[in-house]
Amino acid sequence: MKNINVGIIGAGLGLRCIFPKFRDIANVNIAGILASNYSHTLEIADRYKLSNACKSVEEMCAMPGIDLICVASPTKYHFEQASYVIANNIHMLCEKPLCLNFGQTQRLIDLFEGTEKLCLIDLELRFNPYFKKVKELIECTLGRIYFIQVHFQSSLYRDDSIKNTWNLDGSMGGGIRLAIFPHLLDLLLFWLGDKQCISLKGFMSSLDASNKTSDFCSADLCFENDISVHLSASAVGFGDKAFSIIIMGEKGVATFDLDKKLLFNSDAVCVDIPDYYNESESIFRSSFGCYARSIIDAIRNDKRNTSFTTGEEMLRLHRLLEDVQLSADSGREIVYRQAEKNLF
């Protein structure tokens, strides 16, 4: 089995999630780390016995035998760092969102099209076994879909005691909209395929306007075939974390939450759960464990997984993500095109 060498840029999410999940895979070596300053990089390399404490993205790309570089730095640095990795013909995984604005995102995705290497975005929920099963229910069991609701809540996104996080800094890409909405939008694109969004109405609020970040974000979207969608994410609730899904179709209702898991018409749905999936972890961390293995398999086999988010989907997602803020700021609904009514 081929050894895969992985470099990680970023000492926040990169260390908390990306590092352990790649390290758990057989014959995967975390070859190097690059943090926000070199003294911190040296500290991390010493703590985890890493052979390369890098001073720059240029130094990381020059490491002999490097196969994959994960860009998990603050969003404002993504374009420069990801562009350099692509130019050096190295597989790349970039944190979401790709960039702070749609123009840079489009330029970066254009670079993706010019390389044979994997250029991926860190949107892992579509690799979660429960959400893969949801896609199967949508395609084979629920019949015509007419309503989807997805809600996430965690007050951890306002916890300023977490080290090496920029959740409360809008200039770095913080806020619940940029942290969570890419995941929710990507699930929609995964489940609904090529169905296009007809209209969008966004709402955002913040406990502290000086941070220029969102603590609550919601969006009502209409997709082709009269599919009504409501998405919401909150960092201001108290109590346990919440991740809940309701999908209504003409043949029944599918639901998911962190306690009861996946149900169809109130009955438990059988889902194949891999041995390495950890139910006690957050939904994002356990999902990334599945995604990381798919990435390594794709590199080893030189074959792209058909479930990877495509460049076209990334563009659609980032357009919707930016329009949520545009709609929230203006108070207006954004209409992409006139819906064709689907009469019963």
Domain containing residue 325: CATH number: 3.30.360.10
Q: Residue 50: helix, strand or coil by DSSP? A: coil
pLDDT at 159 over 60: no
CA 222 to chain centre: 22
pLDDT, tens only, 78-117:
999 999 999 999 999 999 999 999 999 999 999 998 899 9
pLDDT bucket at 168, cuts 50 / 70 / 90: low
Cα(279)–Cα(162) distance, rounded to whole angstroms?
23
Region 159-170: mean pLDDT is 53
Q: What residue numbers bound the domain in which 331 lies?
A: 125-335
pTM greater than 0.85: yes
- Assess whether 82 and 137 both reside in one domain: no
Cα(31)–Cα(86) distance, rounded to whole angstroms?
18
In this structure, what token pair is assigned to residue 177?
A: 């909209």
pLDDT at 342 over 90: no
DSSP codes joined into one string, 111-147: HHTT-SS-EEE---GGGSHHHHHHHHHHHHTS-SEEE
Cα(138)–Cα(326) distance, rounded to whole angstroms?
30
pLDDT, tens only, 22-70:
999 999 999 999 999 999 999 999 999 999 999 999 999 999 999 999 9
The DSSP secondary-structure symbol of 53 reads B
The closest of 116, 124, 9, 110 to 56, measured between CA atoms, is: 9
What pLDDT is stored for residue 340 in this prediction?
60
From 121, 137, 158, the end of a domain falls on 121
What pLDDT is stored for residue 343 in this prediction?
42
Strand ranges across the sheet with 242-249: 267-268, 261-264, 252-257, 242-249, 145-153, 227-234, 216-223, 197-205, 334-335
Report yes or no on 328 lying in a domain.
yes
- Assess whether 104 and 164 both reside in one domain: no
Cα(204)–Cα(209) distance, rounded to whole angstroms?
11
Helix axes 311-330, 102-112, angle to 10 degrees: 180
pLDDT at 344 over 70: no
What pLDDT is stored for residue 166 in this prediction?
47
What's the domain count of the chain? 2
pLDDT, tens only, 189-238:
999 999 999 999 999 998 776 666 789 999 999 999 999 999 999 988 76
pLDDT at 158 over 70: no
Report yes or no on 342 lying in a domain.
no
Cα(331)–Cα(329) distance, rounded to whole angstroms?
6
- Assess whether 294 and 309 both reside in one domain: yes
Report yes or no on 343 lying in a domain.
no
Calculate the average pLDDT of the chain. Answer: 92
CATH of the domain at 89: 3.40.50.720
Cα(217)–Cα(179) distance, rounded to whole angstroms?
11
Report yes or no on 157 lying in a domain.
yes
pLDDT at 265 over 90: yes
- Assess whether 146 and 96 both reside in one domain: no
- Assess whether 271 and 136 both reside in one domain: yes
What pLDDT is stored for residue 93 in this prediction?
98
What residues have CB less than 8 Å from 130, skipping those under 6 apart? Answer: 256, 261, 262, 271
Report yes or no on 310 lying in a domain.
yes
- Assess whether 109 and 207 both reside in one domain: no
Phi and psi at 104, nearest 5°, equal -65, -40
From 72, 105, 121, the end of a domain falls on 121
- Assess whether 131 and 254 both reside in one domain: yes
Q: Considering only 4-18, 79-93, 138-152, 172-186, which range has the smallest mean pLDDT?
A: 172-186
